């Protein structure tokens, strides 16, 4: 048996741990999996006679777990960089409540990608 350890930034919740375990345990030769959303780490014990590390990482890539987790961030007032400006509003009708809004450019995918879980559609209605 050999062990493959992968750092996976997209593994940020317990639902991802369940999905990664489901994907990998379905592969022949995978014996044991330690997956941690807290440490964003997957440790896979596998039989090298049945499966190789490239096949394991390729399968995780198909499920979206090899991508980095890109989140937009505020850049402040640095010249030459895109800055996200917040809009603050206070209405007398709601008392002491303040709301914040921020427009962020879309990159063609959800801001919080969720590998293993597809997009919800209303096709069944």
Give the pLDDT of residue 8: 78
54's enclosing H/E stretch is helix 53-62
Pairing status of strand 86-90 against strand 98-102: antiparallel
Tokens for 71?
Answer: 């989140």
In terms of pTM, does the model score above 0.85?
A: no
- Distance CA(74)–CA(9), nearest Å, equals 20
Give the pLDDT of residue 7: 85
Mean pLDDT by 10 residues, the chain (125 residues): 85 83 92 88 92 91 75 57 61 72 58 58 60
- Distance CA(8)–CA(12), nearest Å, equals 8
Give the pLDDT of residue 41: 86
The burial of 16, by beta-carbon neighbours within 10 Å (0-12 exposed, 13-18 middle, 19 or more buried), is given as buried
Angle at 22 between CA 34 and CA 121, to 5 degrees: 130
Domains (range + CATH), the chain: 2-62 (3.30.70.100)
Would you give the distance in Å from CA 21 to the centre of its chain?
Answer: 15
Give the pLDDT of residue 96: 74
Give the pLDDT of residue 20: 87
Give the pLDDT of residue 38: 83
């Amino acid at each position: 048996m050999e062990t493959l350890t992968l750092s996976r930034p997209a593994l940020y919740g317990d639902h991802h741990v369940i999905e990664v375990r489901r994907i990998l345990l379905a592969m022949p030769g995978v014996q044991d999996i330690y997956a941690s959303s807290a440490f964003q780490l997957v440790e896979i014990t596998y039989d090298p006679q049945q499966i190789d590390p490239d096949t394991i990482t390729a399968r995780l890539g198909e499920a979206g777990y090899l991508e980095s987790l890109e989140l937009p961030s505020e850049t402040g007032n640095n010249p030459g960089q895109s800055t996200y400006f917040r809009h603050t509003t206070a209405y007398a009708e709601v008392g002491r409540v303040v709301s914040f809004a921020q427009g962020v450019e879309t990159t063609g995918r959800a801001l919080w990608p969720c590998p293993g879980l597809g997009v919800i559609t209303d096709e069944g209605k």
